[in-house]
């Protein structure tokens, strides 16, 4: 073997080693891409399910409009309202401390969730209330936990999620003290999503069903803005 042949052999060997190394790197990149694609598929599925639920909810809201048009005269309701409270000054009610009894399991945990909410740690509060609802679905604090879970998501600007949660709350607890606010905030959620039509329907629902409440006055103000 000549010196030239030995040199060429070494060059070929180096090239083969380099190709093998590049193949390993490409395999690693492909593996990462498959992992990323898998996560994308999961997120895409979750988003699709949320959009499906959201569309179903909007159908419910539109059916509500038909009931309202047959039940009340909106203009006469608006005339009774003289001094609406500014929307930016709304203060969601905070439940009073309850005496811990055998019928209210998880009350101490609920207070921990409220501490997170009051400290504006909304992501942690939403997660905490979700676990609390799953653990104590029949407790006296379950309605408040659901309401403040929805409030947390609203404050996180997760408007489609909060709309669905406020709707679930108002359906499960129609006589709860938070219900009028929950429906009003559904309307505000739709406004944030630039859906004035559905927002208007919900504001009218609050005025129709919850006369002389703060949520009713706030809804009247928002309707006046929309009519301009």
CA dihedral defined by 7, 9, 14, 19, rounded to 10 degrees?
140
Burial of residue 178 (CB within 10 Å: 0-12, 13-18, 19+) is buried
| CATH code, residues 75-227 | 1.25.40.10
pLDDT category at 17 given cuts 50, 70, 90 is confident
pLDDT band at 45 (very low <50, low <70, confident <90, very high): low
Q: How far is CA 64 from CA 61, 72, 198, 216, in A?
A: 5, 12, 10, 17
pLDDT in tens, 158-199: 999 999 999 999 999 999 999 999 999 999 999 999 999 889
All structural domains of the chain with their residue ranges: 1-71, 75-227
Residues 99-130 pLDDT 10s: 434 445 667 889 999 999 999 999 999 999 99
pLDDT of residue 93 exceeding 70:
no
The H or E element containing residue 77 is helix 74-79
Average pLDDT over residues 78-104: 46
Q: What is the percent of the chain with per-residue pLDDT over 90, rounded to a whole number?
A: 46
pLDDT at 215 over 90: yes
Whether pLDDT at 39 is above 90: no
């Amino acid at each position: 073997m000549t010196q030239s042949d030995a040199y060429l052999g070494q060059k070929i060997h180096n090239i083969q080693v380099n190709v093998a190394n590049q193949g390993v790197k490409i395999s690693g990149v492909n593996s990462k891409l498959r992992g990323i694609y898998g996560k994308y598929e999961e997120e895409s599925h979750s988003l699709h399910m949320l959009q499906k639920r959201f569309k179903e909810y909007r159908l419910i809201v539109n059916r509500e409009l038909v009931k309202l048009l047959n039940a009340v005269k909106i203009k006469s309701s608006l005339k009774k309202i003289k001094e609406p409270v500014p929307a930016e000054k709304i203060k969601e009610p905070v439940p009073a401390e309850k005496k811990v009894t055998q019928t209210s399991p998880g009350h101490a945990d609920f207070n921990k969730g409220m501490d997170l909410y009051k400290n504006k740690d909304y992501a942690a509060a939403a997660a905490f209330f979700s676990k609390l609802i799953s653990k104590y679905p029949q407790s006296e604090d379950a309605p408040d936990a659901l309401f403040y879970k929805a409030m947390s998501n609203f404050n996180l600007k997760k408007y489609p999620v909060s709309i669905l949660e406020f709707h679930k709350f108002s359906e499960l607890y129609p006589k709860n003290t938070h219900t009028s606010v929950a429906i009003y905030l559904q309307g505000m959620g739709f406004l944030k999503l630039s859906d004035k039509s559905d927002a208007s329907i919900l504001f009218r629902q609050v005025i129709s069903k919850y006369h002389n409440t703060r949520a009713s006055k706030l809804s009247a103000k928002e309707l006046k803005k929309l009519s301009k």
